[in-house]
Every structure is written in structure tokens, then in C-alpha cells.
Amino acid sequence: MDDLNFHLDAWRSLFPLSAVPVGERCGGRVNGLVVDPYSICFVEQMREQAALHDNLGTSVPTDVFIFAKGEPPRRDVTKIGGIPYRPAGKPWPSNSKGEPLTFVAQYCFSESTDLVGALPGDVLLVFTSFGVHGRDRSEPLLHFEWYQLGLSDLGTLTETSSPAWKFSTCYGLRHRTVDYVEKCASEAILRVIPDAVLRDEHPDEAVVNLCQIEGMKIGGMPFWPHPERIDSSALPGDFLCSLATIVISDNRPFPWANHNAPITLSEAWADESQLTWLSESILNVSIDSTSQLHWAIQLW
């Protein structure tokens, strides 16, 4: 799979909205989390249904990533886990005790410059001191590294420290979409969600994931599960990217964009087909005018 763009039109016929059970037609904790072909097809078709009847208002473009399993065909692409894009021979980052940090994710901004502008590098690596037993609060939680495209002498698997906990290595297929920012969007989407669903959902929770993308993305708007709890100064500068807890769908075709066969829930957990960290959280990152990165995390 050398084409690292996600082609929605080629996938939507596999996941028509008519085939989605009525009980799942809301944002939901999992249904609105964009990670696989099913989830993005669902979100886009729900938006299209709402737009047939109402104006969804102002939107901000964003690049969201649909995951394929394994290592990517190129080392510099947006991905989770595995072998990072960094120079050979460079010491692995560690905490104050000398313990290696866990490589969580990397973002490639080369195809998203129209969204984020000039940056200190082309590829951003994210490491964490969060471990299998939780977080040592005496240590900085996150460590970032920037690199330019074109590195020729890259680190190998033997230079890659094992993560502190198990999660799947996967890489992203880029899909350009939007985040909606006005209340009229949520009101419009609410009108196409069946009443039977809304009886069991708080209306705001039913559409939050359908208006603003929750997942791994570049640009757009930061997704907050509980926006009322966020200080307006939490992310100074311009929003850059986000990373959500990743939960792969079970019992559906294409749990990964490059794997057709469905997996059961037990297989998903046995295969560590999740990125679960900080008790199901979402990380949002911004960059200010001095190129300083800022971040904030919110739990569900």
C-alpha cells in the first residue's frame, strides 16, 4: 500500500449509512472515534445527511488519519509506534533516572503545510515517560523531536527502545476533511439522529465527535471531550495536531485499512490493537510564534 492517502469514494460503498444499525447512529464514545475505514465513512455520511437539510456553518480543514497495520512503506510518514524516523546513532531519549522513554507517535506535515504553515521541521516525534505502571509525576510527561525530510542514515530496530506497554504499530492514510465550529452544525446533525438513540444519549455527547474529529489529526480544531473544563489559555498559539486513544473496531470488515478480515473483541485485545494511555485520553498540541510546543490532555 504505497498510496498513503485515504480515498473515501472507494470505501463508502463498503460501509453505506443504511447498513449502520440505528442504535449506533450517534457520535458515541467509539462510533465517532475516527480510526478505520468504517468510522470515517460513518462520520462523513452522517454529515452529508445533515447538510441535505441544514447549513452546517463555518468549518476548518483538517487532515485525519485512517490506520493501516504494521510498519509503513516509508519511515517518515505519520504513524503510531514501531521504528521512528530519526538519525542513526542518536541517543534514545530517557528520563532523569536513565530509563528509556516510549516512542508513541510521529506526524509528517509535508502534505499539510497549507493547514499549519512553516514549522521547525517536517516530522514531529512524540515520546512519553508514561509507563506500564502509570506516570511518575516528577518526570516531564512528553518529549518532542523535530526532523527534516531527507534523512538518509536512519536508526534501526536495534536502536529502538521497546515501549513500556504493548500497543499496535500502525501508520496513517491521510484524509482531508473539516471540523465544524458553530452550534448550527450540532443542531443539524442532531436532527438526523434517530429519536430512539437520543433517549439514551445526552444530546451534546451524541454529536460532539461528528462535528469535530476525534482521532489522530493535523490542523482543524482541538477536540475536547469536555470543552467546558478547558481553560482558554491551555493551548497558546496555533493548534497543530492531536492524538486520541485508539480503539480498533471489532466484528467489522477492514478493522485496518490493509486487513480485510474482521477481528473479534478478544482478538483485538490479544493483538494489542489499541493505543490506550492515560486512562483513555486525548492529547492536543499547539505551537506559538517562537516555535515552542504546548500541549494539554483531557480524559474522557
* pLDDT, tens digit (0-9, with 9 covering 90-100), for 215-245: 999 999 999 887 777 777 889 999 999 998 8
Out of 7-11, 198-202, 239-243, least confident range? 198-202
CA-to-CA distance for 284 and 258, rounded, in angstroms? 27
Enclosing H/E stretch for 198:
helix 195-198
CA-to-CA distance for 42 and 249, rounded, in angstroms? 13
- What's residue 225's pLDDT? 80
Residue 198 in any domain: the answer is yes
Residue 290 in any domain: the answer is yes
* Strand bridging mode 142-147 / 170-180: unpaired
C-alpha pair distances (Å), 29 with each of 131, 209, 264: 24, 8, 19
Residue 276's pLDDT band (boundaries 50, 70, 90)? low
Q: Residue 269: is its pLDDT beyond 80?
A: no
Residue with cell string 521547525: 120
Mean pLDDT of 283-294: 96
Mean pLDDT of 13-39: 71
165 and 131 in contact (C-beta within 8 Å)?
A: yes
34 and 189 in contact (C-beta within 8 Å)?
A: no
CATH number at residue 97: 2.30.320.10
Out of 44-48, 181-185, 206-210, least confident range? 206-210
- What's residue 26's pLDDT? 53
CA-to-CA distance for 86 and 146, rounded, in angstroms? 9
- What's residue 28's pLDDT? 44
Q: Is 146 exposed, middle or buried (0-12, 13-18, 19+ CB in 10 A)?
A: middle
106 and 82 in contact (C-beta within 8 Å)?
A: no
Mean pLDDT of 141-166: 94
Total structural domains in the chain?
Answer: 1
- What's residue 210's pLDDT? 87
Residue 262 in any domain: the answer is yes
- One-letter amino acid at 100 equals P
Cα 203 from chain centroid (whole Å): 23
41: containing domain = 8-299
Residue 118 in any domain: the answer is yes
Tell me: the pLDDT tens digits for 70-104?
999 999 999 999 999 999 999 999 998 899 999 99
Residue 77 vs residue 263, higher pLDDT: 77
Residue 30's pLDDT band (boundaries 50, 70, 90)? very low
297 and 278 in contact (C-beta within 8 Å)?
A: yes
Residue 29 vs residue 198, higher pLDDT: 198
Out of 151-165, 195-209, 215-229, least confident range? 195-209
Residue 109 in any domain: the answer is yes
Residue 36 in any domain: the answer is yes
Tally of CB atoms within 10 A around 191: 11
Query: What average pLDDT does the structure give for the chain?
Result: 86
Residue 3 in any domain: the answer is no
**Sequence-separated (6 or more) residues with CB below 8 Å from residue 161:** 92, 100, 101, 102, 103
